[in-house]
Structure 1
Amino acid sequence: MDPRAPRLSGLLGQDVTGSVPLGGAYRLRLADGTEVVAKRHDHESGVLAEAAGLRWLAGSSGFRCPQVIAYDAEWLVIEAVPAGSPAVAAAEAFGRGLAALHRAGADGFGAPPPGGPVDAWIGLAPMRNETGPDWPEWYTAHRVQPYLRTAVDQGVLHDHGPVDAVCERIAELAGPAEPPARLHGDLWSGNVLWGADGRVWLIDPAAHGGHRETDLAMLHLFGCPHLDRIVTAYDEADPLADGWRARLPLHQLFPLLVHTVLFGGGYGAKAVAAARAALAGL
């Protein structure tokens, strides 16, 4: 049993009788037989941001988010998701649900979920949710340049000219104006769970107001089962703007630079390649 169980028992109001590691989290069995997942954050803002994000995303049709059961300054405890297998029907429902989530909107680009902190996180990297009215300017200032500067300072990104060029020409690259969408914000396949109930569940959000193509770009960056069916259902529910596929590399710059900061120069080369691909469309 994990040695931190006494603290978690106090938080949950009953004994933890079993603990199984799940990467950066633990699946706990409680005295009443319930299973939950407990995730530790090094910063209280991480707990607050994730709890607020799960609540903000919950309730849209086509997918679910685990219920937030309890949290303190260090631990977040959520409902456990019984595992299933990827299925076409679930993928199509997820695509429609993701479109509905994005349509639910946000107060502005960069707006945090209600109750969520401005100083949030994406994975292990800090992410500041400063609000701005204009997506191209906001994306450059708050989603590209902070991680670009950090990567350069760390010495893991040297050939950053193409990324600089994207920042300079962002208005030409951004495509048609879109209203602020309610984003998951870290929508790679590891955060898309295929439940035993035949539905998709979303976990580990870095939720904020942003451009809907950013969530889709993340799904494309690392792949996802039945991705074509997800996108087709999304586009049928809420048609995407012309040229959205050509803009995927622009939106992938953000997660690629985050990965460069966290994991090193191999991702830096991918970020530069994405910048070049974005510029190739001009």
Structure 2
Amino acid sequence: MSIADRLGDSLGVSVRAVTDLGSGHGWTLHRAELADGRAVFVKAAADRAGVFAAEAAGLRWLGAGNSALVPPVLAACEGMLVLPWLPDAAPSPAAADRFGRDLALLHADSPEAFGAPWPGWIAELPLDNTPSEGPWPRWYAERRLRPFVVRAADVLGVDGVRLLERVIDRIDELAGPPEPPARIHGDLWSGNLRWTDVGVVLIDPAAHGGHRETDLAMLALFGAPHLDRILAAYERTRPLAAGWRSRVPLHQLHPLLVHVALFGAGYRAQTLAAARTALTG
């Protein structure tokens, strides 16, 4: 069955046109124009139902914390995820200010536990979302760092693995003051921020109850437009614990390990540098 036929069946409306946008991580991307005048974004794959289900659950869960930040899920069925089409707008200082405030409000809506009640994914890699009432440092070490150290061990090498194990062993002292679980996006690099005429909208989450500093560290990892304004607006709304900037490398370790697992040795040096900085503060 074609993308147009599957989409029409899912939404109950005929499809005028489908434009292919490329592919990534094992699925294809499309823009579709519907007979009722709407445009939608479609991810499709024959064998990615679990990934799409996790993304849909994450978007809905984040929306329960702050609906201004996420698009509604129009359909999430076997092999397909459908969202509204989000036209791009130029990043602006005003939108950055609003995003920083909205992200702080999202994080302030605390779930009951770290983790999530659905199996997690980041790109095509599984995440262990087993819920825990805490504390966060041990959850992060055992559910995020250790599994990806194992997955990336061949690239990290013996010395690299030992370095990451030192971080895991010292996680309690490195993690800073205790924080309650926060609703976090979980993969908040700049490519998952859509700047639109109504502000920033978040896509492609690896959502779970986590540490709010994780989202901010991910924003900084590959750079985000107007990052200083985002952070300033965040701090005005919900100040961060003292020393948070020194903990940025600790929170960046998981996404860097994900990149080592996905893309190989090109991210090894950056990952090990982050681990050394995390250990020295």
Report TM bin, short chain.
over 0.9
> 2:179 maps to which residue?
178
Give how far 1:60 is off. Answer: 5.3
| Matches of 1:52 and 1:131, distance apart in 2 | 15
Quote the Cα distance in structure 2 between the aligned partners of 1:222 and 1:83. Answer: 20
Match of 2:263 in 1: 263
Q: Is the 8 A contact 1:256 1:271 kept in 2?
A: yes
How many residues were matched structurally? 272
Pick the structure with more helix per residue.
2
Q: Which residue of 2 aligns with 1:37?
A: 41
Residues 49-68 of structure 1 aligned to structure 2 (within 5 Å) = 49-58=54-63, 63-68=68-73
Q: Which residue in the other structure is 1:138 paired with?
A: 139
**For 1:27-85, what per-residue CA distance to the aligned partner results, in whole angstroms no more than 9, with x for missing partners?**
11112221001112533221221111111222656943111111211101111112111
Superposed, 1:213-232 pairs within 5 Å as: 213-232=213-232
Summarize the Cα distance change of 1:196–1:21 in structure 2 as closer, same or farther, 3 Å threshold.
farther
Corresponding residue of 1:251: 251
Tell whether 2:91 aligns with 1:90.
no
CA distance in 1, matches of 2:232, 2:66: 16
Letter of the 1:64 counterpart: L
CA RMSD of aligned residues (A): 1.6
Contact 2:69 2:102 in 1 (8 A): no
Matched, 1:12 2:40: no
How do 1:149-228 residues align onto structure 2 when only pairs under 5 Å count?
Answer: 149-152=150-153, 155-158=154-157, 159-197=160-198, 199-228=199-228
Mapped contact 1:40–1:74 kept (Cα < 8 A): yes
Q: Please identify, of 23-32 and 84-93, the stretch whose mean Cα deviation from structure 2 is larger.
A: 23-32
Question: What CA distance in whole angstroms lies between the structure 1 residues aligned with 2:219 and 2:67?
Answer: 16
**Partners of 2:67 and 2:7 in 1: CA distance:** 32
Stretches of structure 2 lacking an aligned partner (at least 5 in a row): 24-28
Q: TM-score, normalised by structure 1?
A: 0.92
**What amino acid does structure 1 have at the position aligned with 2:42?**
A
User: Which ranges of 4 or more aligned residues in structure 1 deviate by more than 3 Å?
Assistant: 59-63
**Residue in structure 2 matching 1:71, options 73, 76, 98:** 76
One-letter code of the match for 1:150?
A: R
Aligned counterpart, 1:109 = 114
Identity %: 52
Corresponding residue for residue 26 of structure 2: none
Quick one: distance in 2 between partners of 1:31 and 1:227? Answer: 39
